[in-house]
Structure 1
Amino acid sequence: MNRFLESLPLARDRASLRYGAALAISSLALALRFALVPALPSGFPFTTFFPAAIIATFLLGAGPGVLTALLGAAAGLYFFLPPLWSLAPGHSAAFALGVYAAVVTLTILIIHWMQRANIRLRAERQRGEDLAAHAELLFHELQHRVSNNLQMIGSVLSLQRRRITDPGASQALADAVAKLQTIGRIQRQLYNPDGAHLSLDRFLPDLLADLVNAGGRPGIECSVEAKAGVQLEAHAAIPVALIIAEAVANAVEHGFADRETGTIGVHVGFEGEQLLLSVVDDGVGLPAGFDAAASNSLGLKIARTLAEQLGGQFSLTPNAVQGSVAKLHLPIEWRASA
């Protein structure tokens, strides 16, 4: 309905059609007024001409509306006001004609102003849609450039790694390249041009599949159990995604080092007053006496640091049955309102 109202007046670029339609409306109004002569008492000369002028103005614009109103005034004066068959109004006819002219003029002006407002509104909405489309284009271009820059940095680090003979330094650069690639994948999935939050139950399956595929381990199956609609604040989404990515990467690299198949499950729920995200695998498990807090692993240090920055806690412990379980506890304050 709103779209129809904003499209008025009709046929704005075809004046002949609009004025021809106004003549047709005037003719119908005159024929209807003659048909109502037996049913109407004298003194109602403009009964059908007033609504005809309003309809013409509403559908066709102010110009056709004015033409319809003038034709109606002439027809009412000539055919239905004394002296009949004359365009010279008597005293009572002049009064009726004046009332008709005042009411129809005011009504036509109101409809005209409303249509002008609708035209401006439509133009502003079109301008807004054009700006939104341009902003989305710029956003995707920015995302593309950021992704290319991350790939370029990773390529530079990979080239530099080839020149390094020290195993520790070479591994550090390899880890840095992997982290850059992970950040690039997370960024592409997390950010929307409209700024909307992504629910974890929709985001995590894609992230897990991407991480496993990037590691070249298609035999590892991933699953996500998450309460529908759980979201995170925008500034917490990237750190949480990085922590989950590190836990998955650790399971793939160490838990399934000598296996081509396995399962990784991510669970999202609540534990008391905290949001709990856990990554469970059925791999070989952790070495005896393993202490994540004392580990020199760069990935685990990053996960612990990010968790602490969010006011949460990250832990990696043996699973009760088989494999290991990584847990991230976060204050519920980081949860975004749905």
Structure 2
Amino acid sequence: MQAKRRVFEQLPLLRERRALAYSAALLLCAVAWWIRWTLDPAFPPGFPYLTFFPAVIISSFLFGRGPGTLSAVVCGLLAWYFFIPPVHSFQVEARTLVALGFYAGVVAVDVALVDAMQRANERSSRLAAEQRQLAERTELLFRELQHRVSNNIQMVGAMLSLQQRQVTDPVARTILTDASTKLQLIGRIQRQLYSTTGEQVPLDVFLKDLMADLFAAEHRPGIVHRIEAVSGIRLSPDAAIPLALIMAEGIANAMEHGFVDRDAGEIVVTLTHDDQIIQLCVIDDGAGLPPDFDLHRSDSLGLKLVRSLAMRMDAQLSVEAAPSSGTILRLSLPESACQA
């Protein structure tokens, strides 16, 4: 279909070489006359235009209205002189006028229809080109907007990071450091949430890229990581961004607490979709939870943020011990509350 469309977009041919286009139309008239002359003994009387109509249509189709009109006039004169009695003359009789009138009406309609089709095709091609240019500009503007938003968020995080160096109070330094880290993470999430075409990236691809980005920043090659996610899930940005933040917080807690004295381990992120529930799990095989751990009483800023995000999404959040060793952070949210 694309090849056919490109061929039709090139019609009429020889737009910049009109003399050659008119010459080609005259050649088609000559070919039509030769075929009609050669087959004349096989034709019954009364078919003077049989081979001339195709010549007119082909000339109009290939070379445009002007060559088609010239072909119609020349073919009409050839048919009149050679094949309309009395032959070899331009004598005008009543039946000659009827035949010529019929011919003129048919070729006028043919040329007009072909010309209208080509003009419509030109308009369609022009509109398609304008739409392509508009799509390219829109894509460029969207990428620039995403880039600027992400950069601005990360710049605020960097400014907070600079400010915390001047703060002597350890609690305040910790708060500013966490805030700076979260802002820079949000900037990365914002950059990765959409493709270059402006479409939202499927959640499995988005989380996989984000997870690779997080581990690249940690520089802990001994910690193996993988993600197991069903494909095709798309969430609204209001749900996708908090979910990504919760995943990132789960990974950060595993790295900071679960593998604090270990150089090797494994973190697995799973994303499932079952019974209209989307469930995210961050599973590690680290040191596990302290005996007195209570998610709802924890003073950790990261866990407070995770609880707040889960509550805002109307999701169920739990942090529990893994069956063998390690920790599972589990987020369950209803599909109806987060579809894009």
Which interval holds the TM-score relative to the shorter structure?
over 0.9
Aligned ranges for residues 124-135 of structure 1 at < 5 Å? Answer: 124-135=127-138
Choose the corresponding residue for 1:259, options 238, 257, 262.
262
Displacement of 1:163 after TM fit? 0.8
Is 1:105 the counterpart of 2:115? The answer is no
How many angstroms apart in 1 are the aligned matches of 2:131 and 2:286?
53
Equivalent-residue separation in structure 2 for 1:5 and 1:223 (angstroms): 51
Residues 280-328 of structure 1 show CA distances to partners (whole Å, capped at 9, x for unaligned) of 0111111112111211222222222222222211211111111100111
- Name whichever of 148-157 and 31-40 sits farther off: 148-157
Contact 1:256 1:283 survives alignment (8 Å) = yes
* 2:42 paired with 1:57: no
In 2, Cα distance between equivalents of 1:240 and 1:56: 64
1:301 paired residue among 295, 301, 304: 304
2:142 to 139, 144, 148: 139
2:214 matched residue in structure 1: 211
Report the 3-state secondary structure (helix = DSSP H, G, I; strand = E; otherwise coil) of the residue aligned with 1:109: helix
Contact 1:223 1:266 in 2 (8 A): yes
- Equivalent AA in structure 1 for residue 15 of structure 2: R
- For residues 278 and 93 of structure 2, the distance between their equivalents in structure 1, rounded to whole angstroms, comes to 86
* Corresponding position of 1:273: 276
Q: Partners in 1 of 2:274 and 2:301 — Cα distance? A: 28
**Residues 1:318 and 2:332 are matched in the alignment:** no
Between 1:123-132 and 1:220-229, the stretch displaced more is 220-229
* Residues 45, 80 of structure 1: 8 Å contact kept: yes
Shift in Å, 1:174: 0.6
The residue type equivalent to 1:281 in the other structure is D
Give the structure 2 partner of residue 199 of structure 1.
202
Q: Distance in 2 between matches of 1:286 and 1:10?
A: 77
Q: Return closer, same or farther for 1:335/1:172 CA change in 2, 3 Å cut-off.
A: closer
Distance 1:76 1:316 in 2: 93
Q: Where does residue 17 of structure 1 map in the other structure?
A: 20
* Cα distance in structure 1, aligned partners of 2:337 and 2:124: 39
**1:1-338 pair list within 5 angstroms:** 1-334=4-337, 336=339
Q: Which amino acid letter does the alignment assign opposite residue 293 of structure 1?
A: H
> Alpha-carbon deviation of 1:152?
2.1
C-alpha distance in structure 2 between counterparts of 1:10 and 1:336, whole Å? 51
1:334 CA drift (Å)? 4.3
CA drift of 1:179 comes to 0.6
TM-superposed CA distance for 1:61, in Å, is 0.8
Q: CA deviation at 1:335?
A: 5.8
TM-score in terms of structure 2 length: 0.94
The percentage of aligned residue pairs carrying the same residue is: 48
Instruction: Pick which of 115-124 and 140-149 moved more.
Output: 140-149
1:77/1:89 contact within 8 Å kept: no
Structure 2 counterpart SS, 1:204 = helix
Contact persistence 2:223–2:263 (CA under 8 A) = yes
1:182 CA drift (Å): 0.9
Post-superposition offset of 1:186: 1.0
Q: Say if 1:199 and 1:229, in contact at 8 Å, map to a contact too.
A: yes
1:336 shift after superposition: 4.3
- 3-state secondary structure, aligned to 1:266: strand
SS for the counterpart of 1:280 is strand
Cα shift at 1:159: 1.5
Distance 1:335 1:19, change over 3 A: farther
SS in 2 for 1:328: strand
User: Offset at 1:56?
Assistant: 1.1
Structure 1 residues 193 and 69, CA gap change in structure 2 (3 angstroms): same
CA contact (8 A) 2:230 2:273 kept: no
Name the CA distance, whole Å, in 2 between partners of 1:285 and 1:76.
Answer: 98
Structure 1 letter corresponding to 2:200: H
In the alignment, the residues of structure 1 paired with residue 21 and residue 237 of structure 2 have an alpha-carbon distance, to the nearest angstrom, of 54
CA distance in 1, matches of 2:92, 2:312: 88
Give yes or no for contact 2:284–2:326 (8 Å, CA) kept in 1. Answer: yes
Task: Structure 1: state its 5+ residue gaps.
Answer: none
Instruction: Give the superposition deviation at 1:88.
Output: 2.9
**Residues 26/86 of structure 1: CA separation in 2 closer, same or farther (3 Å cut):** same
Name the aligned partner's letter for residue 326 of structure 2: G
Q: CA deviation at 1:266?
A: 1.0
Q: CA deviation at 1:273?
A: 3.5
- Note closer, same or farther for the CA distance 1:148–1:332 as it changes in structure 2 (3 Å cut): closer
Aligned AA for 2:75? G
2:85 alignment partner AA: P
Q: Distance in 1 between matches of 2:15 and 2:302?
A: 66
Contact 2:151 2:187 in 1 (8 A): no
